[in-house]
Structure 1
Amino acid sequence: MSERTTRTTRTTLALTATAALGMGLTACGDSGGGEAGGDITLQFASSQSPDQPNYYCGMELFKERIEEQDLGITVDLFPSSQLGPDAERVSQIQSGDIDLDLQEAGMTTVYPKLGILGAAYVFDDVDHAFNWIDEHSEEFRQDFSDATDMTIIDGWYYGSRTFSSNEPIRTPDDLQGQLIRFPDTPQYLANAEAMGAQSVAVAYEEVYVALQQGIADGQENPVVGTATGSYDEVQDYVSLNNHQVSIHWVTLSNQTLEQLSDEQREAVFTTVHEIRDENRQCVEEETEEVLQEWRDSGQLTVIEEDEVDRQAFIDKAQDYFENHYTGEDLEFYQSIRDSAE
């Protein structure tokens, strides 16, 4: 059997399981459980720390709900990059050394097209993002699995990325002269350029010190990420421009997929999908709690959504990406934009 055929068979297993969830994907054939099944321990890794919603309202819920189904599945959780940073974990997922992973940017190292899903303002809002996953992502996920030996089960909402800074940011013009830390990946750096920001390269572990010492004037993160990183201690403003719907993808090794029985596979896919809405609610509630604390304490000045010229940001970003992407990447970007309701 050729490598391409083997990969397609694995993807068939994944899409068959996903179709059972009513997510709009077409069943591709027999699930081929065969000799798979039996007791199995799944290693579920992430860079998320235990104090972030995607851990306690995501990974922990998955462990609890899978294990209580008594299907022979045990889940071991490895948060806070215990098994390596995002990019390094990708090869471990591909080889089956890690079974499940929750991340975003690292997967672009083996499948750059995934970065387009993180383009500034490619999604109008969270509803648009989840509608795209449910109704329009089948071909994308099939191609991803064929190319990487990993299967995207679903996406969990991490938050909408915003700016924190020492000067107020209400329009793209306000970014002029400010050094903003963006993650050092091609798509994030393109986002900086698309919005007119001057990016500065700072390792994740060094962001706080860089802000404290003025190496960077600001950074971008979901509100919860800004709070858990304690960046609010060394910043004056947070701007709710919401330039990116940040989705962290729950990804399964295709090596592991083949080891699961039909019943185990369906349970894993169903549980991940059912957690999605609870996880989103948890993230949104935590985000509002943090914002209200800042409003009440005055620790940060919150520039509210209605104070931001979001349309100016959107227009600038779209103009940029329509020239930045070419060929199939441009078609993919435009298809996502066209899927907005």
Structure 2
Amino acid sequence: MLFKTAIAALAVGLSFGLAGTADAQTKLKWAHVYETSEPFHTESVWAAEEIAKRTNGRYQIDVYPASQLGKEGDINQGLTLGTVDIIVSGSSFAARSYPPIGVAYYPYTFRSPEHLIAYSKSDVFKRLAEGYEKKTGNHIAAVTYYGTRQTTSNKPIEKCADMENLKMRVPDVPAYLAMPRACGANTAPIAFAEVYLALQNGTVEAQENPLTTIEAKKFYEVQKYIVLTGHIVDHLNTVFSKKLWNSLSDEDKKIFTDVVQEAAERATAKVEKREGELVQVFRDRGITVTEVDKNDFKNAVMERVPMEDFGYSKSDWDAIQAIQ
């Protein structure tokens, strides 16, 4: 009788132990707006799996791509609402809460992807990221090179003035609007997931995005020209919600940070490699790809759309220019 009682007690103990282990696993949601074929998704999935490994399964992170949990503005808001825990999103959206961090999106700020990555490791970036965190509580843990933004159109563009009255889709973010508006385009803030259809049915006749996005979203199927305006060397942040970041132990903070920074480096390398191949790929597909005098576009922006109008600091911009 005593033996049976002991066995029963052991079984109950094991049952509670297993339940406790299951309950200890924390489930998290990671959201972004990019396609499953893009490195911003594939490396997010890698990072989610790697965090699970390095924490011995204490965290299960499900990645939701392609605007499944909402548009970019929605998922940024979701960090505060608690509907998402981790997002991949640009500083342009972070700037809605803390405008100074948007200075990196002012056209022709960065000379190259290498300049951007150097900025992401600089004191000026750390200061701006800290300002964003103080304002929102959310923590920027990694920066990924998104690509250099180019213009696509159904009419040829050789100079800034050729964009006069051009119906162009641009994200509803001040820094993205700067170059097209400086050149006289009529901009439309169509959601990212709806751009292909808008180009196809003629709602707009142009848009701007990196070559890798033009490929992934198949914009080349409904555009005749790719114009290498190179107006923004773009980036994405991996952002942890305030709730998640504050809940992590110091050990787990290091694991999460190390992993997402590795993922950012992996994605950056893939983007740079593919970007270098795509001009010829598009030409082979019959798309006209043209170079332009970037100074023509840059001068128009500097003269007609001052960065101070967006809440950006010229001293921050100057500090970025000084980074080698």
User: TM tier, shorter chain?
Assistant: 0.7 to 0.9
Distance, in Å, in 1 between the alignment partners of 2:209 and 2:319 is 22
Moved more, 222-231 or 106-115: 106-115
128, 145, 162: which one pairs with 2:115? 128
For structure 1, the residue ranges without an aligned partner over 5 or more in a row are 1-37
237, 240, 264: which one pairs with 2:225? 237
Pairwise mapping of residues 1-341 of structure 1 onto structure 2 (< 5 A)? 39-56=25-42, 58-71=43-56, 72-104=58-90, 105-135=92-122, 136-298=124-286, 300-303=287-290, 307-321=291-305, 323-325=306-308, 329-341=312-324
Q: 1:202 aligns to what SS in structure 2?
A: coil
Give yes or no for contact 1:43–1:75 (8 Å, CA) kept in 2: yes
Q: Label 1:55 to 1:171 Cα distance change in 2 as closer, same or farther (>3 A).
A: same
Q: CA deviation at 1:47?
A: 1.0
Aligned to 1:7: none
Aligned to 1:35: none
Q: 1:92 aligns to what SS in structure 2?
A: helix
User: Which amino acid in 1 is paired with 2:33?
Assistant: S
Q: CA deviation at 1:196?
A: 4.1
Distance, in Å, in 2 between the alignment partners of 1:280 and 1:205 is 23
Give yes or no for contact 2:44–2:263 (8 Å, CA) kept in 1: no
Q: Label 1:76 to 1:203 Cα distance change in 2 as closer, same or farther (>3 A).
A: closer
Q: CA deviation at 1:153?
A: 0.8
Q: Label 1:327 to 1:317 Cα distance change in 2 as closer, same or farther (>3 A).
A: closer
Give yes or no for contact 1:163–1:169 (8 Å, CA) kept in 2: no
Q: CA deviation at 1:67?
A: 2.1
Q: 2:168 aligns to what SS in structure 1?
A: strand
> CA offsets, 1:19-46, max 9 Å, x none?
xxxxxxxxxxxxxxxxxxx642332111
Instruction: State the TM-score, normalized to the length of structure 1.
Output: 0.80
Q: How many residues align?
A: 298
Distance, in Å, in 2 between the alignment partners of 1:328 and 1:235 is 34
For structure 2, the residue ranges without an aligned partner over 5 or more in a row are 1-23
Q: CA deviation at 1:250?
A: 0.5
Q: CA deviation at 1:297?
A: 2.6
Q: Label 1:190 to 1:74 Cα distance change in 2 as closer, same or farther (>3 A).
A: same
> CA offsets, 1:257-278, max 9 Å, x none?
1221222110111111122222
User: Which amino acid in 2 is paired with 1:308?
Assistant: V
Distance, in Å, in 2 between the alignment partners of 1:62 and 1:254 is 19
